[in-house]
Amino acid sequence: MLTVTFLGTGTSQGIPLIACNCRVCASVNPHDNRLRSSVLIQKEGTTVVIDTGPDFRQQMLREKVLSLDAVLYTHEHKDHIAGMDDVRGFNYILKRPMDIYCTPSVLNALKREFYYVFSEDKYPGIPEINVNTLVNLLPFKIKGLLFTPVQCMHARMPVLGFRVDDFAYITDANYISDQEKEKLKGLKVIVLNALRNEPHLSHFTLAEAINLVEELKPEKAYFTHISHQLGLHEEVNLKLPQNCSLAYDGLKIKIA
């Protein structure tokens, strides 16, 4: 049984946005409060996080995560890597480096943002990581759990989605080639970014995400990386097709 927990489902600024008093940012419904997008994947003693945004520490504490085997990165934008420093809590408790899986471009960004991690003269207490560079995008295993990278585009930036078992997670994308779509056939659950209703240069709109669901035909779809511009959670959810739902922070799904 695969368990997926949505650690965050918001955009780069989260919801509520600083200094915004729109209906969504002022909502008292907790489903309208969204941390930066990330998911926790667990199966048979293996625990993996996809992306460590600025809210990573808060998300780990909220979900009471006591052990973490690896971190996978989709791409190098700040809202997906900014929390990497906080893996040192797991370093201390688990007494080992954290395995990280990423493309060369993400690794370059990590070296810029966290230069002290890669320094030859390391300061005591900095994060300890073991980098696994994904260069050929072939499937790879983490403690027996098989992950298949899915190449997508975020405007001109290549980003990765990941398939594990019959579940796939894709965020910050606005294009997937037909060749890569083949990796997304036969899914029970897919997660796609759905930023807002209006067109965007680098993200799927809600309508585009729904059209992709209709094309790929998973049993169930959840939408993430949601902007306050999309609208109130309850109102938007009521208008979605039967097999589609907005995800929300803390949502747990189980996939047999």
pLDDT value at residue 122? 82
> Coil, helix or strand for 3?
strand
Q: Tell me which amino acid residue 225 is.
A: H
Sheet holding 189-193: strands in order across?
140-142, 145-154, 157-164, 167-170, 189-193, 220-224, 244-246
> Coil, helix or strand for 122?
coil
Checking if the pLDDT of 124 tops 90, the result is: no
Burial letters for 80-106: b for 16+ Cβ neighbours within 10 Å, e otherwise?
bbbbbbbbbbbbeeeeeebbbbbbeeb
pLDDT (average), residues 37-62 = 98
Instruction: Report how far residue 7's alpha carbon sits from residue 42's, in angstroms, rounded to the nearest whole number.
Output: 13
**Exposed/middle/buried for residue 64 (C-beta within 10 Å: 0-12, 13-18, 19+):** exposed
pLDDT value at residue 172? 97
pTM above 0.95, yes or no: yes
Domain that holds residue 219: 2-255
Q: Which percentage of the chain shows pLDDT scores above 70?
A: 100
CATH number of the CATH domain containing 178: 3.60.15.10
Confidence label for 11 from pLDDT (cuts 50, 70 and 90): very high
Q: Which percentage of the chain shows pLDDT scores above 90?
A: 96
pLDDT value at residue 168? 98
Query: What is the domain count for the chain?
Result: 1
Assigned token pair, 203: 């993200």
Q: Is the peptide bond before 199 cis (omega within 30 degrees of 0)?
A: no
Q: pLDDT, tens digit, for every residue of 190-232?
A: 999 999 999 999 999 999 999 999 999 999 999 999 999 999 9
